[in-house]
Structure 1
Amino acid sequence: MNSTEKLPVFYIPHGGGPWHVMEDYMGDPEGYGMLKNYLEKLGKEYREKIDSLLIVSAHWEEPLPTIHFGGNPSMFYDYYGFPNFTYHLRWPAPGNPELAAYIEQIMKQAGFQTKRETERGYDHGTFVPMMIAFPEAKIPTAQLSLVKGLDPALHIALGKALEPLRSQKVLIICSGMSYHNLHALMTGSKYVGEDSKHFDEWLTASIESGNAEERNKKLINWLKAPAARESHPRSEHLVPLFVAAGAAGNDMGYRDYSGILLRASISAFKFG
């Protein structure tokens, strides 16, 4: 693959379910409106600068790092209780078996045992934000799973293996949520605002800290952060950030978006 100027890496919040097509934006038109504007801006900035996308979604976990090799991925509507039309949404971006093979190669060179997969469609952690950022759905898109167990150091190392892609016109987008406590949100917990604010402040300070080694050490020890488990009872929506931090290499990161969503502080981060 031809080398070119290095692209940044993104960790983005993908929101709840198919929020982007709901009439009331899930009851938070202001918060989701801001997120939509951010994703639209991201797409406009990079769609002419890239040849491919690699998406790492919080909604895909496998025993081994698994790479999607399908040429025409289907849709995987992994949300429940929404109107019927939301189960007919389409984001028909082609897959990218050639890029998948290259990802497999560089991951094996980094010491990872990987697995191939051809049947899984785009889950909502992928297709919802990408319908907003890249609505034309023409950019070939590869997908890579998280690894069950959600070990922070492993996912930083996994991301590090992906760093060469940034010089190949591949935009790496890691999709999760910087706050993800659905029980607290659904039950109207009065602590959502405070907990998410404390955790988000810690997360931002850690990402923007002095150097990559220091940053990654803090992320590996994220459970020591204020309101860590209150913000992430399970860490699958945080772990894509570890992949992004690894793919950043020695490049610094910073908060690229900050907003309030359903009372929770949420952020996106950009590296490089």
Structure 2
Amino acid sequence: MTQRAPAMFISHGSPMFAVEPGQAGALLTGFGEQFSDVVSVLVISPHWMTRGLELMSAAQPETLHDFGGFPRELYQLQFDAPGSSEIAAQVKAVLENQGIAVGLNAQRGRDHGAWVPMLHLLPDTDLPVFQLSLDMTMDAEALIKLGKALLPLRDQGIAVIASGGLTHNLYEICAPGSPPAEYVQRFQGWVREQVSNRNLSALALPQRYSDDFQRAHPTAEHYLPLLIAMGASDANDHLSVLEGGILHGVLSMESYGWT
């Protein structure tokens, strides 16, 4: 492996993103060209939350349709990339060597926070794609530390993708085509600035440094993967800002890639 595998934070939006790729989907597909030398993909999603870390180790993870009330076509979609118990064991060893305990889970399937964006990023992949759970007991500092523990995997050809949402206020969803809410635009701009400047202290305490955080994230689980992505990247990386737009007035689809 001569080049680091990418790290990413992906805003995965609504499950409808699977069949309505739009601007964000096209940008992910384009960024997928950076994965030519990757041997495996590790995804963290807020739709698999646990107490203590768990690592998917199934050889062929199931495609979970963990949502309700959407068109029938969504429930027929499958993401058929394999898993890998061997690479899962490799990741487990890397984390435990750095003092981070993690259990293996051979039953867990891939949730939509993982497979929906992967449909656009690597639609025809035969690479193993597996998940690490989001540990709800970890605070911001621990999540950044976890990301830093995952960083060495990139030098082994394992891409690290943290999937969530730059904004995620589902209470304020508007009709398709609605203009972006001002607070969403402000918060998106604030996050982009902190990410560009690698201001981890501000990103770890957004409720202190941004007046818009609480409204953008009534609950924080879709924001927290960004902290893991920041830890899994460093100042040697090239940052790509994927400006995916703002859907339904309030859902920022902005993503970040580090190569």
Same fold (TM over 0.5): yes
Q: Which amino acid aligns with 1:136?
A: D
Q: SS in structure 1 opposite 2:173?
A: helix
Write the distance in 2 (CA, Å) between the matches of 1:179 and 1:73. 28
The CA deviation at 1:18 is: 3.3
The CA deviation at 1:40 is: 1.2
Pairing partner for 1:261 from 230, 244, 247: 247
Write the distance in 1 (CA, Å) between the matches of 2:49 and 2:169. 19
Write the distance in 1 (CA, Å) between the matches of 2:154 and 2:52. 23
TM-score by length of 1: 0.87
| 1:271 aligned onto 2:258 | yes
Q: 1:177 to 1:150 in 2, by over 3 A?
A: farther
* 8 Å CA contact 1:41, 1:133 repeated in 2: yes
* 8 Å CA contact 2:24, 2:254 repeated in 1: no
Which residue pairs with 1:217 in the alignment?
201
Q: 1:58 to 1:156 in 2, by over 3 A?
A: same
Write the distance in 1 (CA, Å) between the matches of 2:175 and 2:83. 39
* 8 Å CA contact 1:10, 1:174 repeated in 2: yes
Q: Which amino acid aligns with 1:42?
A: F
Write the distance in 2 (CA, Å) between the matches of 1:187 and 1:79. 19
TM-score by length of 2: 0.91
Pairing partner for 1:7 from 2, 5, 8: 5
Which residue pairs with 1:40 in the alignment?
29
Q: Which amino acid aligns with 1:205?
A: E
The CA deviation at 1:4 is: 3.2
When you count helix as a share of all residues, which structure comes out higher?
1
Sequence identity (%): 30
Q: 1:34 to 1:150 in 2, by over 3 A?
A: farther
| 1:91 aligned onto 2:64 | no
Write the distance in 2 (CA, Å) between the matches of 1:132 and 1:18. 12
Give 5+ residue unaligned stretches, structure 2. Answer: none
Write the distance in 1 (CA, Å) between the matches of 2:249 and 2:148. 34
Which residue pairs with 1:28 in the alignment?
none
Q: SS in structure 1 opposite 2:42?
A: strand
Give 5+ residue unaligned stretches, structure 1. Answer: 26-31
Write the distance in 2 (CA, Å) between the matches of 1:79 and 1:4. 40
Write the distance in 2 (CA, Å) between the matches of 1:47 and 1:270. 11
Which residue pairs with 2:67 in the alignment?
79
| Residues 190-220 of structure 1 deviation map (CA, whole Å, 9 limit, x = unaligned) | 99611111111111111111xx5xx211111
Write the distance in 2 (CA, Å) between the matches of 1:250 and 1:109. 24
* 8 Å CA contact 1:12, 1:176 repeated in 2: yes
Pairing partner for 1:243 from 222, 225, 228: 228
Q: SS in structure 2 opposite 1:121?
A: coil
The CA deviation at 1:167 is: 0.7
Q: SS in structure 2 opposite 1:236?
A: coil
